[in-house]
A and B are shown apart, each in its own frame.
Chain A
Amino acid sequence: MTSKIKRGVSLYSFQEEMFLGKMTLDDVVGFAASIGAPGIEILPEQNMPTFPNITDQQIGEWQDRLARHGAHFTCYDMFLDTKLRKGEVMSDEEQVASIVRDLKLCNRLGIKNMRILIFVRPDILEQCVPYAEQYDVHMGVEVHAPWYLDHAWILRTIEVADRLKTKHLGILPDMGIFMKHYPPAFRGRFERQGARPEVAQFIVDSHEQKIMCEYTIYEVAVKMGGNKAEVAMAETLRHAPFANPKRIADFAPYFRHIQAKFYEMTPDCTDPSIAYDEVIPQLVKAGWEGTLSSEYEGNRWIQDVEDVDSREQVRRQHVMFEKLIAKAEAEVEPA
């Protein structure tokens, strides 16, 4: 069968190469298409230097670029600068206006999904729903670690979406919420910064056992006399949850796009920390139709010792996706 799950990349994945001028927008779009991941998630504030002033000509250039490579837009990552003015938080009216500005640009670009930062208040989004409907853009609140699908803050957005019976407000999970094992890339960086191997192992073991992070932080900081790198490593546990992938089915009607976060892929194309082998079967079982959009965030953990190769990392993730999706579909639909 042809999979309902589509594949793509977030341009966030190539931030290292683009920051350093080693890859152009043409390069990243072309690369994504070349590995069978033609769905492009864009961060206008990263990839459109004149943001928020975008001309029709610039939009035309983007459409040409996508067409040239056989790619298409999937999602627009918005930001909301509530602290634009020093010592003052933006008024509610200004927040709505900023989001409406993004919805309009989304619509002009022909993008149907917008990633909403998780800190945006549900009542602000409620005020934006009529505009989201008008411009036909789904606002998906990013479910980002340390939050998770069932978290009370996320449930507030779901409540608003249900009450308004709208198809234009929901969620947008970031797969970092399914961190089953502590990322080796994190550990390596902290060890290079001075974490002792035995303390690092203690932290990794604690995460493996899902001991509440505050216990581990106390052990490391107080009882083990942890140094700066060790305490910092223990504190990463606060943002390293493993949520239950089985809950995906309950929330699938509320999302149309996924940020497929990852920190590293091994040469044999497996992810040593995020539990995609449990997540993908749940998505397939739920009959979910949307895009798995690679979000490589490993660059900052290795750039101190090696050149980052985002292309190879993203390529490996898509090899894994292809394999896991095919396997899950074969199991759901017996021949």
Chain B
Amino acid sequence: MFDKFLIDATSLRNIGPDEAPTGFAFEAKLGYYRGLGLSMIEELNVSIDGEAVAREAVTFDEGEGPITLDAMETAYDRRWPFGTPATIAVAHPGGFPEGEHRLGFQQKLRISYLPFPSFNNDEKVVSL
């Protein structure tokens, strides 16, 4: 319901040493009309120019410290509040590739009252 607003394109930056970045990060919101416990966020898929980065390369931080997607599955006491950006960090040697690229971000959510998973998708052309 908020797909086009998930990625904050202005927040993209490299992480790690300037001379040899280890990855990149950006701020994103949960595309849902209420906050959700982290254990119900099944996937946060990041892609560059349509190519998916590995699940293991992605970490999430809503302010309580970085957490892997595997660890999120049992994070029953943490929540991603409504309308609040969280940091999505991606291990990617060399950092975000130079020039313009399509940054894709997909959320797969387990919503208790829906029989099927809910997917939110955003894609923006960005450069550093």
Contact = CB atoms under 8 A, between A and B. Distances in A.
Interface stretch (A26-34, A81-89, A266-274): A81-89
B113 A84 contact: no
Given A43-B33, A45-B82, A49-B82, A119 B113 contact: yes
B44 interface: no
Contacts of B83: 18-21
Interface in A28-46: 43, 45-46
Interface in B1-59: 1-2, 4-5, 29, 33-35, 37, 39-40, 42
A18 B82 CA distance: 9
B112 A81 contact: yes
A147 B20 CA distance: 58
Nearest to B2: A19
Nearest to B35: A45
Contacts of B35: 45-46, 49, 51
A264 to B, nearest CB: 16
Nearest to B74: A85
B84 interface: yes
Contacts of A21: 83
Contacts of B40: 81, 83-84
Given A19-B5, A81-B40, A119-B113, A46 B76 contact: no
A299 interface: yes
A242 B55 CA distance: 45
B5 A20 contact: yes
Contacts of B4: 303-304
Given A299-B1, A300-B1, A303-B4, A45 B34 contact: yes
B79 interface: yes
Interface string A74-86: 0000011111111
Contact of A83 (B1, B2, B79, B110): B110
Interface of B: 1-2, 4-5, 29, 33-35, 37, 39-40, 42, 73-74, 76, 79, 81-84, 110-113
27 contacts: A19-B5, A19-B29, A19-B33, A19-B82, A19-B83, A21-B83, A43-B33, A45-B34, A45-B82, A46-B35, A46-B82, A47-B82, A51-B35, A51-B79, A79-B112, A79-B113, A81-B40, A83-B112, A84-B37, A84-B39, A84-B40, A84-B76, A85-B39, A86-B73, A117-B113, A118-B113, A303-B2
Given A84-B40, A300-B2, A304-B4, 20 more contacts: A16-B2, A18-B82, A18-B83, A19-B29, A19-B33, A19-B82, A19-B83, A20-B83, A46-B33, A46-B35, A49-B81, A79-B113, A81-B40, A83-B111, A83-B112, A84-B37, A84-B76, A85-B76, A86-B42, A86-B110
